[in-house]
Chains A and B, each alone.
Chain A
């Protein structure tokens, strides 16, 4: 094997390792099946939910048909959480693309 081939093999292996060691969950396409926007609760109500989690809120926004929260946990971890806009239930939480929480039965 030439040096170039070796380098290519090493880099492809590193890429494969990184991809394989992370659970394959897409935070880019979470769906909440939340229905018509008229029935959604105001996004400001998430502030209380965030406070109850003891997170410090950075930003809230609508992502698809979900409410999305960017926050820091008590220990300083940067997280991205999705809430149901009607029930305000915490559905799924990601830390730098890695899923760290999923509500029981939620498959969106």
Chain B
């Protein structure tokens, strides 16, 4: 991706955070009001990062998917950044470490911490040097984001007890993974027996 496109994408991805911080500092928004939007955006960015891989395996690499694949890393890093913002507003909302520790064992809370921890390896290895150094293992490390996504959805579900958001966010991925599965079966069937 060209460098101006890269910077434009960073700018677009940073805009929601700017609006959130602006509303927190200059308007009456409470930190607790930003918990939902920051967490939801993190999950959505994870979906955007995870979708193009399986889709390109099914549809083949066209121009759109190539472009999307080239942006995948930025979506992943932004998902981590919004997860950190989510944590920051949570800390602001809770105000004290003892209060945070006191509710750590609640299922709706520890699943959120777990999602954040699971995002860490992918985020820490999201630069070119790590990619070169880890070689084949890089992809394995990046795949941990699937588990982070699952933990994030469970965290959301346990806090809201509302199944629709989880289904809506998981559905495109389940569909894409099904398509990839179909693509792999097609490849296996077409492959001559050795």
Contacts and interface: CB of A to CB of B under 8 A. Distances in A.
Interface residues of A, number: 25
B54 interface: no
Given A11-B147, A59-B30, A19 B157 contact: yes
Contact of A59 (B32, B96, B111): B32
B130 to A, nearest CB: 21
Chain B at the A interface: SS class: helix
A7 B145 CA distance: 13
Interface stretch (B9-17, B41-49, B100-108, B178-186): B100-108
Interface residues of B, number: 28
A77 B108 contact: no
Contacts of B110: 18
B98 interface: yes
A25 interface: yes
Interface string A1-35: 00000010001001100110110111111000000
Interface in B114-166: 114, 147, 150-151, 154, 157-162
Nearest to A15: B154
A108 to B, nearest CB: 14
A76 interface: yes
B114 A77 contact: no
A49 interface: no
A76 B99 contact: yes
A98 B99 contact: no
B174 interface: no
A40 interface: no
B107 A78 contact: no
Interface string B22-41: 00000000101100000000
A15 B162 CA distance: 16
A22 B158 contact: yes
B99 to A, nearest CB: 4
Given A26-B161, A59-B30, A59-B32, 13 more contacts: A15-B150, A15-B151, A19-B154, A19-B157, A76-B94, A76-B95, A77-B102, A78-B93, A95-B106, A96-B103, A97-B108, A97-B158, A98-B107
Interface of B: 30, 32-33, 93-96, 98-99, 102-103, 106-111, 114, 147, 150-151, 154, 157-162
